[in-house]
Homo-oligomer: A and B are copies of this chain.
Amino acid sequence: MTLEAKQAVETADVVVGYKTYVKLVESIIKLGTEVFSGTMGKEVERAKVAVAKALEGKKVVVISSGDPGVYGMAGLVLEVADLENAKIPAVIIPGVTSATAAAARLGAPLVTDFAVISLSDLLTPWSLIETRLHAAAKADFVIVLYNPQSVGRTEPLAQAYQILLQYRKPGTPVGIVRQVGRKGEETSITTLKDLLSCEVDMATTIIVGNSTTRIVSKRMVTPRGYDL
């Protein structure tokens, strides 16, 4: 967490967020703060509550995990405020997104150009996700996969795996980090060919190396290209 985010939560009149994320900052919310925590799928509702409370003149903090601008709530709050013609001085506090947090645990796989792709087709058509997987794999980007799979939704990762294997060698290093920065964090490094036999859920970030990524003292490193 950044110093700026911590200070914002500590001084909030109202905290709004998905219940799992609110729990993560519970210990720094001051007594008397109004808390609106809710379930997955109720994001629009939470954005509306946040905007309404801000219009009452309250200092409202909307929590996202990681960075609020990467598959987080930042855009939705701005859109809802705009729709409701609410002139509120919204400030977005950037954070450490899972891509770079996971990279840090694995070594330094992102030290070159990379692409971030969510495998959730709830809000993006699968055909577009496929197009992006092909494009990123072909152009040798290191690829970060968010929301790779959940209970009962294992097909996207299996399909991504087939696409990636069309461009990358089976031995390409792949890093898998679950619950990065949270209790129960787990990190493992495998190869592309073994990706599907690893334990992966919605709280997992997967980093697929490019053609130059290699294992350096048990860590995953994409050389930046310095002459050593």
Which residues in A have some Cβ–Cβ distance to B below 8 Å?
A: 1-3, 6, 43-44, 67-72, 74-76, 78-83, 92-97, 100-101, 103-105, 107-118, 123-124, 128-129, 131-132, 134-136, 138-141, 216-217, 219, 221-228
Contacts and interface: CB of A to CB of B under 8 A. Distances in A.
Copies of this chain assembled into the complex: 2
Given A82-B216, A112-B124, A114-B116, 13 more contacts: A1-B3, A74-B111, A75-B111, A75-B223, A79-B228, A83-B228, A94-B96, A95-B100, A114-B115, A115-B115, A132-B141, A135-B135, A135-B138
Given A123-B225, A228-B83, A219 B135 contact: no
| Majority secondary structure, A binding face | mixed
B3 A108 contact: no
B104 A93 contact: yes
A69 B110 contact: yes
A223 B75 CA distance: 6
Contacts of A227: 44
Contacts of A93: 104
B96 A67 contact: yes
A110 B70 contact: yes
